Chain A
Amino acid sequence: MAYQILASLCTACGACEFECPNKAIRIKNDIYFVKPEKCTECVGHFDTPQCVAICPIEGACIQA
């Protein structure tokens, strides 16, 4: 399982990219996305998915 970013809601602030412990979040053509094979849902690192906890937009980071 992995998280994903809804581009329609994302403001492209990059906060999640900075917090992700697995460098799973990338930007291409100004659009942020999660590389599913890298995302561990933060299990083993933190209690909550970091992208969800830092994201200012409700619902932009969701479970895929």
Chain B
Amino acid sequence: MNQRVIALDSLLNTGVTKRKGCAASGCGGAADGPDDMAPEVWAKVRDHPCYSEGAHHYFARMHVAVAPACNIQCHYCNRKYDCANESRPGVVSERLTPEQAARKVLAVAAAVPQLSVLGVAGPGDALHDFTRTFETFTLVARTLPDLKLCLSTNGLALPDHVAAITALNIDHVTITINVVDPEVGTRIYPWIFFRNRRWTGLEASRILLERQMEGLERLVAAGVLVKVNSVMIPGVNDEHLKAVNAAVKQRGAFLHNIMPLISDPAHGTHFGLSGQRGPTPAELKELQDALAGGASLMRHCRQCRADAVGLLGEDRGQEFRLDQLSATTQTADPAPRLEYRAMVAEARADRRRAAKAAAVRLAPLADVLPRRVAVCTKGGGRINQHFGHAREFQVYEVDRTGVRFIGHRRADNYCGGGFGQDENLEAIIAALAGIDTVLAAKIGACPRSRLAEAGIAVIQTYAHEYIETSLSALFASGLAPQALAS
């Protein structure tokens, strides 16, 4: 068991050594939470990769695709193909019965001690054919009571199931709310199916909105943490999302996650075919900045799929396909996961100390413009990833007031293919627009000089250091990126 945790440590390459004298569940109480969060909320979110920005460095979630049916139609979805907007694979991807899903969860839990969350997020709506969703959760809660459960819904059926959600101890629910004005809704929802008939037009949007708000209010009243997802659709609801943010914040939503519409004619969706475009990264950032005072915005969402397995930004789903699970019964032993969580609690306290030290170092510095830096990390809050293995960059801003995570930029793993590497490097350079410094554990000489030509310095000096420590040192040095890189 110890061996497993140590193996995991080297996998994450956090450099955290396991210390003696810490009982598996004894440490990591609420005391390791952020200063501005209530302890009972921290207890719910600290191990949840999607709800706490820190947790996505350490913990893994998995989604099981047990809910292919849906009770509404959205213009950004046609259900056939994998949909990037709703954590949703297409219905033609692997679908599971509740029993198969429970078996898969057991297999993943036995292999991945980082696993802390099981979610049902589609491919359709988790609450339309609710029997499959609840049966899956019931089976899993029986064998793996230490996992947190969560689900995503469009909200239409939500008020009917609040009691079942609380009875099953599902403490996180995501509702996709794109509008708070039914008029705007008519441009996104062509129809809904409600009370045994199809509704269209304004009426459809009005009913959906009422149900979403009722569901949100009742979940909040029941102590369930609610995240609201919104798809940002330029020219349709982009400005309107400010009103959405205010409305869901007022009703107690814990997080608001704004996702860019991903629109492609090849997906065959209404928006894809009608040429509706998605927002640019700059438009998305501008809206997120304008909403910074609303329901806490989530900037680390990776729009992961409904059958995703792994840390955010990583999908190991293919390793756990049904046909690859052995028929032998898997162990449900929670010890590796509990031990892992204790280790993480310690690692996080350590990182928080490093962040505090970084803040102390920054405070006396001159009040100059913030510096924006991209980092390559595999998790653990450290700069521990090879540039060529990075599939995404985390972007931070640093100035004398501190180090802030502001988002991530996707880039395809250019080391992977063996062909088209040059094009891929160009794509990475484009993805890094506006950023002149990247911190990585390592980078090859070739890509490094190509990036330098493009005005981007990749620095290896801070390999395996904490992000906060590195960024404060970088900022304190006051040196231009090119000077640091040489």
Q: How large is the interface on B (under 10, 10 to 19, 20 to 34, 35 or more residues)?
A: 10 to 19
Tell me which of B70, B78, B79, B197 contacts A48 (CB under 8 A): B197
Q: Is the CB of A13 within 8 A of B124?
A: yes
Per the 8 Å Cβ criterion, residues 1-55 of A in contact with B are 11-15, 17-19, 46-48, 50, 53-54
Q: Is the CB of A18 within 8 A of B197?
A: no
Q: Is the CB of A56 within 8 A of B196?
A: no
Chain A positions within 8 Å of B69 at CB level: 13-15, 17-18, 54
Question: How far does the Cβ of A13 sit from chain B's closest Cβ, in whole Å?
Answer: 5
Chain A positions within 8 Å of B91 at CB level: 11-13
Interface residue B92 (Cβ < 8 Å from any Cβ of A): yes
Q: Is the CB of A13 within 8 A of B79?
A: yes
Question: Taking CB as reference atom, which chain A residue is nearest B131?
Answer: A18
Tell me which of A11, A19, A47, A50 contacts B92 (CB under 8 A): A11
A40 to B91 CA separation, bound complex (whole angstroms): 28
Given known contacts A18-B129, A50-B196, A54-B193, A13 and B78 CB-to-CB distance under 8 angstroms: no
Question: How far does the Cβ of B191 sit from chain A's closest Cβ, in whole Å?
Answer: 9
Given known contacts A18-B128, A56-B78, A13 and B68 CB-to-CB distance under 8 angstroms: yes
Q: Total contacts A to B, CB within 8 angstroms?
A: 51
Tell me which of B92, B128, B197 contacts A46 (CB under 8 A): B197
Interface residue B353 (Cβ < 8 Å from any Cβ of A): no
A12 to B79 CA separation, bound complex (whole angstroms): 10
Q: Is the CB of B128 within 8 A of A15?
A: yes
A18 to B69 CA separation, bound complex (whole angstroms): 8
Chain B positions within 8 Å of A46 at CB level: 196-197
Q: Is the CB of B124 within 8 A of A15?
A: yes
Chain A positions within 8 Å of B71 at CB level: 15, 54
Given known contacts A56-B70, A56-B73, A15 and B129 CB-to-CB distance under 8 angstroms: yes
Chain B positions within 8 Å of A48 at CB level: 196-198
Chain B positions within 8 Å of A13 at CB level: 68-70, 79, 91, 123-124
Tell me which of A12, A17, A53 contacts B198 (CB under 8 A): A53
Chain A positions within 8 Å of B129 at CB level: 14-15, 18
A53 to B193 CA separation, bound complex (whole angstroms): 7
Listed in ascending order, the chain A residues whose CB lies under 8 Å from chain B are 11-15, 17-19, 46-48, 50, 53-54, 56
Listed in ascending order, the chain B residues whose CB lies under 8 Å from chain A are 68-71, 73, 78-80, 91-92, 123-124, 128-129, 193, 196-198
A15-B69, A15-B71, A54-B71 are known; give 9 further A-B pairs, CB within 8 A: A11-B79, A13-B68, A13-B79, A14-B129, A48-B196, A53-B196, A53-B198, A54-B69, A54-B193
Per CB-CB distance, the 7 closest pairs between chain A and chain B, nearest first, are A15-B69, A53-B198, A18-B129, A13-B68, A54-B193, A46-B196, A13-B69
